[in-house]
Structure 1
Amino acid sequence: MNIAVFAVLAIVFYLAAAIHIARGIVERARGGSTATRPAPILALLALALHAAVLYQGILTGSGLNLGIFNTVSLVAWVVAGVVVVASLVAPVENLALVLLPSAGLGIGLELLFPNERLLLASAPLGLRLHVVLSVTAYSLLTIAALQAVVIAVEERLLRTRRYLAAMQLLPPLQIAESLMFQFIIAGFFLLSLGLLSGLMFVEDIFAQHLVHKTVLSFAAWCIFAVLLWGRYRFGWRGRTALRYMFAGFLALLLAYFGTKVVLELILHRV
C-alpha cells in the first residue's frame, strides 16, 4: 500500500480520536456518561499508521533521515504516544485534544515538504543514543509546556472570575500543576543524559555548526535546573513556575528547531 494512504488514514484517525475526546470532555462537564469511548483505539491506530510513515521516511539505505520535517513528525508521534498512554491513568485528555491533530499536521508536513539531513548508518551507537535521548527529552518537555498553557488559562479564569463554567472542561489546577512537574522532571533527566552523550561527539563546535544549538540547550538546562531547585527549595508554583517553564522551553525550541530552520531551510546546509 502506498505510504500516502497510510498517512491520510493516520490523519483521519487522529482527527476522529480528537473529536471523540472533545465530545467526552463536554459530556463529563455536563454530568453525562463517563463510559469509555473509542478515542484510545482510534488514537492507537493513528499512532501505528504514523509509525509506518516515519519508518518509510526516516530509515533509508544510507542512514537516518532527520530532516526538519521528519524530526517534527517524529517528535509529534512521540508526544502523541506519551499523552495517549498517560491519558489512561491521568487527566490529560485536554492535551490530547490539541496534540493528536498536531501529530496529523506533522505527518502532512513530512509528506508535503521532504528534505534530507542524514545521520549516516556508520554513525556510532552513542550518537544514535544521543538522538533518541534528545528527541524523547524534547517531547516530554513539550508536553510540560502545553500543560503549563492549561495552567495559565485556568489561573487566568480564576483571577478574572469570568467564564468559570469553562473550568469544568479543564483538570483541577493542583493536579495539572503536579503533572507538569512530573513531565519536567522526566524531560530534564533525559535532557541531562542527552547533553552529556552529545558532548562526546563534539570535535569542532564551529565547523559542526553546533554553537547556537549547544549554547541554547545548556541555557534551557540551566533554566529547568533553577525551576526544579526553586520548586524543591521554595515550593515555586503559579506564575513564577510558569515563567521559568516557558523560558526554558523557548530556549529548547530554538536549540532544536531554530537551528534546523536556519541550517536546512535558509542556509541549505546538511
Structure 2
Amino acid sequence: MPLLPLAIIAALLYLSAAGMHLLHILQRQPKLSPAVLTMGAIALACHGLVAWFSIFDEHAVHLGFYKISALISFVINVACIAWLVRRPLQNLLVVLLPLSAAAVLVSAFAPHTGTTPEDIDSGLLVHIASSVLAYAVLTLAAAQAGLVAIQDHQLKRHHATGIVTFLPPLQLMETMLFELLWAGVLLLTVAIASGFLFLDDIFAQHLVHKTVLTLIAWVIYSTLLWGHYQLGWRSQTAVRFTLGGFALLILAFFGSKLVLELVLQRS
C-alpha cells in the first residue's frame, strides 16, 4: 500500500482541522464543528492505515522509534475521541492534531528500526498493547495537567485571559485529570504486570533503565492518587506529580528506544 500519499493526506487534514478548531475557539465556538470532525475522522483513518502498514509487513513487526510514534499518536487520538463522549476534552486537539501530523509523516518517511519477528506470542502482545494504551492515556493526562496549571495560575491572580476563558470550570478540569490518571495507572499496572509475567528478563541490561523508570513513574502516579483521595491533593500538586511521572515515562520509553536503536544501533 502506498503509505506516503496517505501520510501526506493525514498530515494536511490534521493541520487543517487543528487550525479550524483553533479559529473556532478564538471565535468563542469551542464545540467541534462538523467540518473539523469530518477532516479529523478522515485523517485518523489514513493515520491508522499508515501506522498499521508501517509496523506490520509479511516478514516482521517493526516497533522501532519512528514507527511506534505513529501508533502511539493514533491511539492517543482514539482515546481522546472516546473521552469526548462524556467529557469536554476538545481543547486538547489543538495540540494533539499537529503532533499527530508530525508523527504520521515521520513514520512514513523514516527507516525501519527495532525489527522483531512476526510471531509475537499473546502474552507479549498484551504487554505491548497495555503499554501503548497506558502511554496514550497518560499523555492525555499530562496535556490536561498543563491546562489545569495555566487555568489555576490565572484564576489565582484574577487574570483569566486567552484559552482559560474557554475552559470548563477548574473543578471539572481537575475531575477530568484524575479520571485520566486512574485509567492510565490501571493500564500501566497491567503493562508492568504483563512485563514481569511474559518477558524473559524484565531487568536485562537493555531493559533495566526502562523498567526502573517506569516503576518510579507508577509510584509517583499512585502516590498522587492516594494523596488526592486521602489528603485532598489537587491543582498545582496534582500538576507537578502528573508531569513528573510523565517525564519519567518519556525517558523510559522514547529515551531508551532513542539510545538503543539510533545511537547503539540495537533492536
Q: What is the TM-score normalised by the length of structure 2?
A: 0.93
Q: Deviations over 1:169-222 (max 9, x none)?
A: 223211111111111100100100110001123434565511101101110111
Q: Which residue of 2 aligns with 1:111?
A: 108
* Structure 1 position 264 matched with structure 2 position 261: yes
RMSD: 1.9
Choose 2-11 or 18-27, whichever is displaced more: 18-27
Q: 1:94 aligns with which of 82, 91, 96?
A: 91
- Equivalent residue number for residue 48 of structure 1: 45
Percentage of matched positions with identical amino acids: 36
Q: Does 1:37 align with 2:34?
A: yes
Q: Can you give the 5+ residue segments of structure 2 that lack an aligned partner in the other structure?
A: none
Q: Report if the CA contact (8 A) 1:213-1:256 is conserved.
A: yes
> Match of 1:28, SS?
coil
Q: CA deviation at 1:37?
A: 3.1
Q: Which runs of 5+ in 1 are unaligned?
A: none
Secondary structure at the residue paired with 1:122? Answer: coil
Aligned to 1:120: 117
What letter corresponds to residue 188 of structure 2 in structure 1?
A: L
TM-score between the two structures when normalised by the length of structure 1: 0.92
> Shift of the alpha carbon at 1:167?
2.3
Which residue pairs with 1:9 in the alignment? 9
| Displacement of 1:246 | 1.1
Q: Residues 11 and 204 of structure 1: is their aligned pair in 2 closer, same or farther, counting only changes over 3 Å?
A: same
> 60, 75, 79: which one pairs with 2:76?
79
C-alpha spacing 1:218/1:27, structure 2 compared with 1 (3 Å):
same
How do 1:1-270 and structure 2 match up within 5 A?
2-28=2-28, 36-162=33-159, 164=161, 166-205=163-202, 207=204, 209-270=206-267
Against the structure 1 CA distance between its residues 132 and 89, is the aligned structure 2 distance closer, same or farther, given a 3 Å change threshold? same
**d(CA) in 2 for partners of 1:194, 1:218:** 11
SS in 1 for 2:148: helix
Alpha-carbon distance in 1 for matches of 2:89, 2:32: 17
Q: Residues 101, 165 of structure 1: CA spacing in aligned structure 2 closer, same or farther, 3 A cutoff?
A: closer
1:232: how far off? Answer: 1.2
Measure, in 2, the Cα distance between the counterparts of 1:148 and 1:113. Answer: 31
* In structure 2, C-alpha distance between the alignment counterparts of 1:216 and 1:75, rounded to whole Å: 19
